[in-house]
Structure 1
Amino acid sequence: MTRSNEPGRAPQGSPPVRSLGVAAVDPVPFTREGLSSIVQRTPGLHWAGHAGNPHAALQLAEQVHPDVILLDSGLDPHGHLTKLLVAGDPALLVVVMVREAHKNPAYLQSAMLAGAHGALPRNAEARRLIETIRRAHLDRRFLDPALAPLAAPQRQGLRGGDSLVSARRPRMPLSRREYQVLQLVAEGLENAAIAKLLYLSVETVRTHVKSILRKLSARDRTHAVTIAFRNGILIAQPEDTPERGTPGQASTPPSGMAEYRAR
């Protein structure tokens, strides 16, 4: 599938102007709806879709090819998802929406080293969001003024060869597909269900699971999940992630296409 490419408005008789496809990766439906509204009313931008968790974010990137992904820092506190998204599509821009808990030099350094192209506070005003998207698109790197002071130690460390730079560089031993499979294993899905969600054969899923066990030096699936959480490869859901169903009711599958929506 080709990159999202909707024409923008242009003067009559002029060739159509290509608009930027913007998608969001955020666990909160209300936040996603707000981002969609802001993008859709902004000239030069169009809404490309959303995802509610990391593995659905990779599906969104692979199938829709947005130009920009707005990524909640709560879903990627160590930069692993950012690194996989950028590695899979060098043209993709990742703009991190930074939560209060992550407003510190260590997180910003980690995000930028992982490949993020822009960052702004998650509670920023709409005009600052649009500015960050546009500046990141033009310059391939932009920090909102509210976060820029936090990046000063990062720049000093990079110039001085500080060991913190290498220490903070995200280490992701798994491939994109292995990361998705492990996410689903952690959610309790068996190989057949994982194969259905990722459009793979069951045998291919088995191969990925074996590779995950080997790379993490895990005895079994449960041990692999434990190691992944301990090492920050997998993360607990952010605190404001909505509950999935109530006791006595069947909840929506936590990581299927219900969590991924194209425009």
Structure 2
Amino acid sequence: MVIRVVVADDQELVRAGFGMILDAQPDIEVVAEAADGAQAVEAVREHRPDVLLLDVRMPVMDGLEAARRVCADHPGTRVVMLTTFDIDDYVFDALYAGASGFLLKDVRRDDLTHGVRAVASGEALLAPSVTRRLIGEFTARRAGPSAPVRPPSRLLQQLTGREAETLRLLARGLSNAEIAAELTVSDHTVKTHVSNLLAKLQLRDRVHAVVFAYESGTVVAGEA
């Protein structure tokens, strides 16, 4: 299956560079480019891509607002934010809006293609150690009386014991292979548990499963 991608960045060289790298892959096709957030939203509406690479800071409509609109109106498109900084305030807001992760603009060629493939398949886009650091800080920033509250109990009650344990291990930053070793099961079984828990919790992908685990109190920031 070919992964359809839209690249949105106000810098033409960035768009062209990412486009050339991705189009060179046999399983990836860049179906459109956009120079601002409004164009990105329109490109997603027209082409319905699997992945939108979206710059955080753009004219006309910034990446955060574009991410909100795309995630709300086009759940089949996974949004990856492009940023210069590995921990950017806008990235946290974008994750909360529904984005599936982020890539640095100086990302290596292989990491770019791997990232697109990973997020298109619903896997973790970020390395486990980075995911843990990012989500830990993200949830800490969201803590407090003004933070939106997610009612988790009904959804959590749908999980089997194994699925609940898989969720806790995901939130600790473990990879599928590490979870399999921890539970003494196969990688395929872990993938099944992850797929089932995402469906039951009504989550887009693994990144948001980790966010859910922290927000619901399934795990506590900083716990081993």
Distance in 2, Cα, partners of 1:157 & 1:164: 11
Closer/same/farther in 2, CA of residues 65 and 104 from structure 1, 3 Å limit: same
Alignment deviations for residues 198-233 of structure 1 (CA, whole Å, 9 cap, x no partner): xxxxxxxxxxxxxxxxxxxxxxxxxxxxxxxxxxxx
Amino acid at match of 2:40: A
Alignment of 1:222-233 (within 5 A): none
Is the 1:119–1:144 contact (alpha carbons within 8 Å) kept by the matching residues of 2? Answer: no
Equivalent residue for 2:135?
A: 151
Distance in 1, Cα, partners of 2:144 & 2:22: 39
1:162 to 120, 144, 153: 144
Closer/same/farther in 2, CA of residues 147 and 73 from structure 1, 3 Å limit: farther
Equivalent residue for 1:88?
A: 73
Amino acid at match of 2:90: Y
The TM-score, its normalising length taken from structure 1, stands at: 0.49
Cα displacement (A) at 1:89? 0.8
Equivalent residue for 2:95?
A: 112
Is the 2:31–2:49 contact (alpha carbons within 8 Å) kept by the matching residues of 1? Answer: yes
Amino acid at match of 2:125: F
Is the 1:25–1:72 contact (alpha carbons within 8 Å) kept by the matching residues of 2? Answer: yes
1:124 to 107, 111, 123: 107
Alignment of 1:208-227 (within 5 A): none
Cα displacement (A) at 1:138? 2.0
Q: Which has the larger radius of gyration?
A: 1
Distance in 1, Cα, partners of 2:34 & 2:136: 32
Is the 1:68–1:133 contact (alpha carbons within 8 Å) kept by the matching residues of 2? Answer: yes
Deviates more, 1:124-133 or 1:71-80: 71-80
Are 2:50 and 1:53 aligned? no
Closer/same/farther in 2, CA of residues 43 and 143 from structure 1, 3 Å limit: same
Closer/same/farther in 2, CA of residues 143 and 38 from structure 1, 3 Å limit: same
Is the 2:51–2:119 contact (alpha carbons within 8 Å) kept by the matching residues of 1? Answer: no
Alignment deviations for residues 147-189 of structure 1 (CA, whole Å, 9 cap, x no partner): 543432123456xx434644xxxxxxxxxxxxxxxxxxxxxxx
Is the 1:20–1:67 contact (alpha carbons within 8 Å) kept by the matching residues of 2? Answer: yes
SS at match of 2:107: coil
Closer/same/farther in 2, CA of residues 62 and 48 from structure 1, 3 Å limit: same
Cα displacement (A) at 1:21? 0.6
Is the 1:68–1:95 contact (alpha carbons within 8 Å) kept by the matching residues of 2? Answer: yes
Cα displacement (A) at 1:112? 0.4
Question: Percent sequence identity over matched residues?
Answer: 21
Is the 1:118–1:143 contact (alpha carbons within 8 Å) kept by the matching residues of 2? Answer: yes
1:40 to 12, 17, 23: 23
Larger RCO (alpha carbons 8 Å, 6+ apart): 1
Distance in 1, Cα, partners of 2:35 & 2:63: 17
SS at match of 2:112: helix
Number of residue pairs aligned between Structure 1 and Structure 2:
146
Amino acid at match of 2:53: L
Equivalent residue for 2:222?
A: none
Q: What runs of 5+ residues in structure 2 fail to find an aligned partner? A: 149-224
Cα displacement (A) at 1:66? 1.4
Q: CA RMSD in A?
A: 2.6
Distance in 2, Cα, partners of 1:129 & 1:35: 8
Distance in 2, Cα, partners of 1:145 & 1:129: 17
SS at match of 2:72: helix
Is the 1:83–1:115 contact (alpha carbons within 8 Å) kept by the matching residues of 2? Answer: yes
